[in-house]
Structures are given as C-alpha cells and as structure tokens.
Amino acid sequence: MIKFNNLIHINRIYEFSRHFKVVFIFVSIAIIIITMLLSNRLAGSLADEERKKVEIWANAMQEILKSENNPENINFLMNIIEGNTTIPIIITDSKGNVLQMRNVKEPFGNFNEFYKNEVRKFNSKHAPIITKIDENNVQYIYYDDSLLLKKLYYFPFIQLAVISIFILIAYLAFASTKRAEQNQVWLGLSKETAHQLGTPISSLLAWHSILKSRYNEDKLLTDMEKDVNRLRIIAERFSKIGSTPDLKPVNLNDTIQDAVQYIANRTSQKVSIQCHLDSKQPVFTSLNIPLFEWVIENLCKNAIDAMDGEGHIDVYLYQHHHEVIIDVKDTGKGIEKSKYKTIFTPGFTTKKRGWGLGLSLAKRIIEEYHKGKIFVKSSEINVGTTFRIVLKQ
C-alpha cells in the first residue's frame, strides 16, 4: 500500500508538472505580447504628439519670419521655439543648405557632410514639415525622435529580455524544486522497500539455518540459500539509493559476466545472451558492484521485454583512451528517436505493468554515483536498440 500510494503521488507530480509548464509558457508569452503591444501603442501616441509639437514649432518660426513690428507676438513665438529642448531639428532651404539646427550635437569637423547625413537619417524616419515664408522662400524642417521616445522604442526589447530571464529563472527554479521533490519520493520509496524487505529476509536466513542443520544433504537448501542471498543483495541495493556508495577498483570482465549470467540463468532459451569481453587483459575501473550489476540486469531485462522474450542480446566491453565503454545491444522493437531522453524519466514506461523506475535508476547510478554516462547510442524500429555506458578509468 505504501508503494502504491508513492507511485500515485509520483504520477500526480509529473501530471501537474506537465500541465503547469504548458500554462506557464502560454501565460508568459501572453504577457510579453501584451506588454510589447502596449509599449508600441504608447510609443506611437508619443510620436504623434512630437510631430504636432514640431508643426507648432514650425508655425512659430514661420510667423517670426513674417512678423515685422509686434514685440509681444514675437516674444510669445520665441517662447514656443525655446520650449523645444528635446526634439532634434534641422532646417534647410530648398537647395538643401542648412539654415538652423536645434538639439543636435555639433560635430568636431566636416560639418557639411555631418549635417547631410543627419538630414538623410531624419528624412528616413519622418517626412519633413514644409513651411512657406513667401513666394520664393521655402524651408524644410527635418526632425528626429526625442531621447525619451527612443528609449520607449527600445523599452519593449529590454523588457522582453528581462521577462525572458525571469521566465528562465522561474522555470529552472520550478524544475529544480520538482526534481528535488521527486527525488525525495524515490529515496523514500527505496528506503521503505529496503526496510520492508529486511525483516522477512532475516527470518528466511534464520529458517534456512535451522533447515540446514536438520537436512544438511538436501540440495534444495543450496538453491534456497542462493535466492535468499539474492534478496539480501536487492535490499542492499535499495538501501544504497540516496547515499554515497563505496567505489572500489573492480575487474569489469568478471562483474559483467556475473550480472549477465544471472539473467541468462533465469531467461527463456529463446533469448540468447552473449558477452564480448576483452579476454586479453582485465579491464579495471572503480565501481560499486551491487549497483552496477543492477544497471546491467535492468538493461538486459528491458531488452528481453522489448524482444517479447525471443531474440539476441550482445554485451560488448572495450577500452577507448582513458574510458571504458559497455554496449548492450538487442534485437527488439526499437525506440523512437524523440524518446531517447524521455525513457530515462522516472515514471515513464511503455509496459502494461511496471513503474518506469529501471532506466531512471540506471541513469542515476551511472551518472551521479559513478560519474559516467548512459544513453541510447542507436535504435531502429523493429530492428533493435543499443544502450551505451561510458565510465572513466
């Protein structure tokens, strides 16, 4: 019941996680789009306001040039002109000669070329405002966006970057929290399993000792002892999940051979399992034997399931530079390329029965405890799959 409840809790975590991620992404995209639309709308309104100000400024300049002896009117118009302290303006005649500029930084040299470039730049952004002083005198007023408006144009992109960083941090934090919660569930499940197995295993060992003292020559007791010791090893494996395992230099040839032989002895004769090991010299690396054998057994069991109990499994071991490589190849159904990484996710399974723990635990044992790598090297539908383990020597 405890295991079943833990499994339900795990499935709920993953189901909630998937739904939350989808909702989180859609909400984030909606916020970004709405923010950018509002900012662009505000920038557009401000741009219209600035053009109106430039038109008023142009009318003021035109009136000053037409005014003769009306000091009060001239003072009023000058106040309008002096009030423009933010919008860059360049006034030219009909031949393109610069007559006046305002709020434009003067260059250190090559004035004519600089102002021509500025006029072209202003003209590419906004159509000039034409003022007619008299029949023979026409002026063109070119203007650029104010510094405030430029900042407003760039603001959505800055905001987009900030929101994206926030979303990324929130997503990573959420994923990390969920992974931590899931790990706690798996650790609790493993410890509970080891604890639950401990008591009956101890009882079985005691009963075996009593039976052996009475029926010492019975061969069935030898097989019984092997099975009880096997249960003890399994309980030990579960108890080690979550704690730092003790790694010792091990001859991989013997370790792989033992793990494969255990599976072969308990598998149908329709399944052929062969080891292709380096017989010339022993291959040593640091391992925790019970946990590593668990990985090999899991890969072989998955291969047998993928082959529906009939086919060939080949286990290869060889050295490459300072690494040890183990390949487990089967002739099973194969795996879709899109699921190469998904199959290592806790709870993922394609079987009608099972918890989807095998490959996730194998990944944890190899990558976290042995600092190696495990992945799908290759796979072809209805042809077979090759899993690869890489360990450092």
Q: At 9, which CATH number?
A: 3.30.450
Shared domain for 388 and 249, answered yes or no, is: yes
Distance of CA 291 to the CA centre of its chain: 28
Pair 145, 255 in one domain: no
- Same domain? For 139 and 258 the reply is no
Half-sphere exposure of 66 (CA within 13 A, CB side): 14
Q: Which of 113, 132, 149 is the last residue of a domain?
A: 149
Q: Is residue 123 a part of any domain in this protein?
A: yes
pLDDT more than 70, % of the chain: 76
DSSP letter at 369 equals I
- 184 HSE (CA, 13 A, CB side): 7
Q: Which of 149, 168, 197 corresponds to the end of one domain? A: 149
Q: Domain residues for 259?
A: 245-392
Contact 278, 317 (CB under 8 A): yes
250 and 370 housed in the same domain = yes
> Beta partners for 119?
none
**Lowest-confidence segment of 14-23, 169-178, 263-272, 366-375 by average pLDDT:** 14-23
Please report how many Cα atoms fall inside a 13 Å half-sphere around the Cα of residue 339, on the Cβ side: 12
- DSSP classification of residue 368: I
Residues 131 and 269 in one domain: no
Decide if 189 is inside a domain: no
Is 252 in the same domain as 381? yes
* Total tally of structural domains belonging to the chain: 2
Task: Give phi and psi for 326, each to the nearest 5.
Answer: -120, 125
- Token duo for residue 133: 């002083």
> Would 238 be classed as within a structural domain?
no
Last residue of a domain, one of 107, 129, 149: 149
Same domain, 143 and 250: no
**Residue 42 in domain:** yes
Within a domain: 191: no
As a whole number, mean pLDDT of residues 310-336 equals: 91
Q: How far apart are CA 231 and CA 283, in angstroms?
A: 28
Residues 6+ apart with CB under 8 A from 342: 348
Q: Are residues 256 and 388 in the same domain?
A: yes
Nearest 5°: the CA angle 178, 186, 264 is 135
* pTM of the predicted structure, to 2 decimals: 0.51
HEC-encoded secondary structure of 11-67: HHHHHHHHHHHHHHHHHHHHHHHHHHHHHHHHHHHHHHHHHHHHHHHHHHHHHHHHC
Q: What's the CATH code of the domain at 379? A: 3.30.565.10
Q: Which of 35-44, 165-174, 351-360 shows the lowest mean pLDDT across its residues?
A: 351-360
- Asked if 136 and 250 sit in the same domain, the reply is no
Q: What is the mean pLDDT of residues 221-240?
A: 75
What's the confidence (pLDDT) of residue 2?
42
In a domain, 165, yes or no: no
* Digit-coded pLDDT (tens) for 31-54: 778 877 777 777 777 777 777 777
In a domain, 181, yes or no: no
Provide mean pLDDT across the span 355-361: 72
Domain co-membership, 145 together with 249: no
Of 366, 354, 353, which is closest to residue 326 (Cα–Cα)?
Answer: 366
